[in-house]
Chains A and B, each alone.
Chain A
Amino acid sequence: MAGATVTVPSYGRRRRIKPTVPLSYLTALVILAITLVPMLFVILGGFRTTAQINSSPTGLPHPWVWSTASFWENLGNSAMIAVIATALAVGLGAMAAFALSRYDFRFREGWYLVFAIGLLFPANVASLPIYLLLKHINLLDNPLGVALPEAAFSLPFTIIILRPFMRAIPGELQDAAVVDGASRLTFFLRILLPLSRPALMTVSILAFVTSWNAYLLPFLVFTSEGHFTLPLGVATFQSTYSQNTASIFAFTALSMLPALAFFVLAQRRIVGGLSGLAGSVKG
């Protein structure tokens, strides 16, 4: 991978090679090493036993086998919670964004502001109060106790991104639908939502990744290991089996793979989503 990037650049027409060009490639190589080597170190480490790691060289993936049981359970829990949180945030957020973008009513901007202010509520700081609230309504040690607050905290950016998008869809489309006898809700479901697909994808990915990576709230809410999500599982595994380095390597390596695979597949969307979020925060 690295080798491909170091090839000397072809001469631009009428351009001299600037002295900074080799420097750029050297810097690029250093960056590549710093970001990729730690990940490769762990992934390759996952293929060796503790004894082998202590005495170095290579070996067969012995520990992969016995670390997988709780891994798959954690993976399933993470997926379930992330799907629920994403569906709720995007579903309810799209409904609210529709109301806030294409209906005229008094205090509309005020209602929008209520959601927008949520962007300034730091989720980690709110975690302990949320825990106490969940305790009150008996949702502790329950996947919904994590999924519902996560969905709620994803609503602000969902609405902030979706609203301008829905607003920009021309009113003539709505008028035409009305002339054809469609109700407003039909227009929403059959025309506006399909047209908003790029924005819906962006907010879905943001909500999903946020939930998938969350650590603090699951840490507070879950007590039984059967409910643990992947981040919680990785951290717990690390502290429980601190003597068995090889298993920790294997577990950590496994936990990196879904995120990296997802990233490679949805890379453009994730990057676009994040820059889009920053853009919409800007205005």
Chain B
Amino acid sequence: MSGLTRAAAAVADPTAAVVSATRTEKTRGPFWRPSRKLIELVVLLTPALALFTFFVLLPICVAAYYGLFNWSGYGALSDFVGLHNYRLVLDDPVFRESVLHNVIIAVLSLVIQLPLSLALALLLNRRMKGGTLLRLAVFAPYVLSEATTAVLWLLMLQPGGFVDQLFKAVGLGHEIKLWLADPSIVLYTLFVVVTWKYIGFGIILLLAGLQGVPVELREAAAIDGASPWQVTRRITLPLLGPTIRIWIFLSMIGSLQLFDIVWIMTIGGPANSSSTMVTYMIENGFRSLEFGFGSAVAVILFIISFVFALLYQRFALRRDTAGALTRAVG
């Protein structure tokens, strides 16, 4: 414990570095003495840096350490098991299945959500009556919390509930399934809910991007005889490139840490058929009080997301200025 807090304090205190940084610097202008500037910098930066270091950077370091122990959360960390926990996680078929589920959701997002958002954004970008209202409505689900969304859809999807009634009403009664209890379709049901919740965000993002596509360009192409499809394909979409790449980035990060909706609607079930990496971590680390094991899962998930984020930044976002993060890191 004391070692932990001492380490935190050492990381959190930027004074040392700032001192060495400012001492060498020449005084700029007649109004400020360096000592005063130094004090100001420390006062301004330390609180944010301390909070950030303690709750964002430190936890993952602590988890990397706990992951080396067999620990139920009580008593001392005495049962050192080395990398055993990490091996257990990676060898667990349920964990691999969970990773696969995250990948399925991510791929479905790319293949279904992205084209759908694009189509809807292009549609909403036209001037039409009630367009503002439509934009508002599409975006509304995004402001609901994931928990509320999950409960709302639980109510909708009850056997014999609204969705089933709707299927019957349009003559698709024979297609009614146990939406949340059938292991072969539960993941896809959850994907539909996730899409309902987040598609508005994608549309708003793409609409903002479309504002940046000059109307003159499209008009010029149209005058030169390009069909509407050609204009969209050759001019609008390429210019939307940066926005689309940002959407993909945010959507992938979201898919990797999918939890709330799944947990409330199915707890990852039935029989792990809808488990995700984070539900796996909560189920096997938190609920079963295997905190050493859970920490190992957290570290593995962290590495997966962080490596993905850095690679994506490096290769996909490089053309946009967004490579800022990786230019210095890697």
Hey, which bits of chain A sit against chain B, CB under 8 A?
1, 4-7, 9, 24-25, 27-28, 31-32, 34-36, 38-39, 41-42, 45, 88, 92-93, 95-96, 98-100, 103-107, 109-111, 113-133, 135-137, 148-149, 151-153, 155-156, 159, 178, 184-185, 209, 212-213, 215-216, 220, 230-232, 234-235, 238, 245, 248-249, 252, 255-256, 259-260, 262-264, 267, 270-271, 274-275, 278-279, 281-283
B200 to nearest A CB, angstroms? 7
A14 to nearest B CB, angstroms? 14
Point out the residue from A5, A25, A119, A124 that lies within 8 Å of B257, measured CB to CB.
Answer: A124
A88 to nearest B CB, angstroms? 7
Cβ B47 vs Cβ A209 within 8 A? no
CA distance A7 to B196 in the complex (A): 26
Cβ A92 vs Cβ B56 within 8 A? no
Q: Which A residues are CB-close (under 8 A) to B100? A: none
CA distance A36 to B138 in the complex (A): 8
Q: Which A residues are CB-close (under 8 A) to B20? A: 106
Known contacts A125-B301, A155-B52: does B139 contact A271 (CB below 8 Å)?
yes
Q: Which B residues are CB-close (under 8 A) to A149? A: 55-56
Q: Does B191 contact A (CB under 8 A)?
A: no
Cβ A135 vs Cβ B73 within 8 A? yes
Hey, which bits of chain B sit against chain A, CB under 8 A?
1, 4-5, 14, 17-18, 20-22, 24-25, 28, 31-32, 37, 40-41, 43-45, 47-49, 51-52, 54-60, 62-63, 66, 73, 120, 123-124, 126, 128-130, 133-134, 136-141, 143-148, 150-156, 158, 162, 196, 200-201, 204-205, 207-208, 242-243, 246-247, 249-250, 253, 256-257, 259-260, 263-264, 277-278, 281-282, 285-286, 291, 294-295, 297-298, 301-302, 305-306, 309-310, 317, 320-322, 324-325, 328-329
Cβ A126 vs Cβ B302 within 8 A? yes
Known contacts A93-B48, A282-B321: does B291 contact A28 (CB below 8 Å)?
no
Q: Which B residues are CB-close (under 8 A) to A283? A: 320-322, 324
Known contacts A152-B52, A259-B143, A278-B246: does B32 contact A184 (CB below 8 Å)?
yes
Q: Which B residues are CB-close (under 8 A) to A156? A: 52, 56
Point out the residue from A9, A98, A153 that lies within 8 Å of B128, measured CB to CB.
Answer: A9
Cβ B133 vs Cβ A5 within 8 A? yes
Cβ B51 vs Cβ A152 within 8 A? yes
Cβ A1 vs Cβ B51 within 8 A? no
Q: Which A residues are CB-close (under 8 A) to B147? A: 213, 215, 230-232, 234-235
Q: Which A residues are CB-close (under 8 A) to B286? A: 128, 131, 220
Known contacts A125-B298, A132-B63, A235-B147: does B37 contact A103 (CB below 8 Å)?
yes
Cβ A120 vs Cβ B306 within 8 A? yes
Cβ B41 vs Cβ A230 within 8 A? no
Cβ B278 vs Cβ A32 within 8 A? no
Cβ A282 vs Cβ B62 within 8 A? no
Cβ B22 vs Cβ A106 within 8 A? yes
Which residue on chain A has the smallest CB distance to residue B32?
Answer: A184
Q: Which A residues are CB-close (under 8 A) to B153? A: 38
Cβ A106 vs Cβ B44 within 8 A? no
Known contacts A109-B328, A248-B155, A252-B155: does B49 contact A35 (CB below 8 Å)?
no
Known contacts A105-B22, A128-B281: does B139 contact A184 (CB below 8 Å)?
no
A-B contact pairs, 30 of them (CB 8 A): A38-B196, A92-B51, A96-B48, A103-B40, A104-B25, A105-B21, A105-B25, A106-B25, A110-B328, A113-B328, A127-B282, A132-B73, A132-B291, A184-B40, A215-B260, A216-B282, A230-B147, A231-B145, A234-B145, A235-B147, A238-B154, A245-B158, A252-B152, A255-B145, A256-B144, A271-B204, A275-B205, A275-B208, A282-B317, A282-B320
CA distance A115 to B243 in the complex (A): 23
CA distance A34 to B163 in the complex (A): 12
Point out the residue from B143, B154, B264, B305 that lies within 8 Å of A260, measured CB to CB.
Answer: B143
A282 to nearest B CB, angstroms? 5
**Besides the contacts A105-B41, A185-B40, what 11 more A-B pairs have beta carbons closer than 8 Å?**
A32-B134, A39-B140, A39-B144, A45-B155, A99-B44, A113-B328, A115-B52, A120-B325, A126-B60, A220-B286, A281-B322
The CB with the most chain A CB atoms within 10 A, among B51, B123, B320, is that of B51
A264 to nearest B CB, angstroms? 8
Cβ A121 vs Cβ B264 within 8 A? no
Known contacts A95-B48, A104-B28, A106-B25: does B137 contact A31 (CB below 8 Å)?
yes
When A and B form their complex, which 3 residue pairs have the shortest distance between CB atoms, in order from nearest? Answer: A283-B321, A5-B130, A231-B147
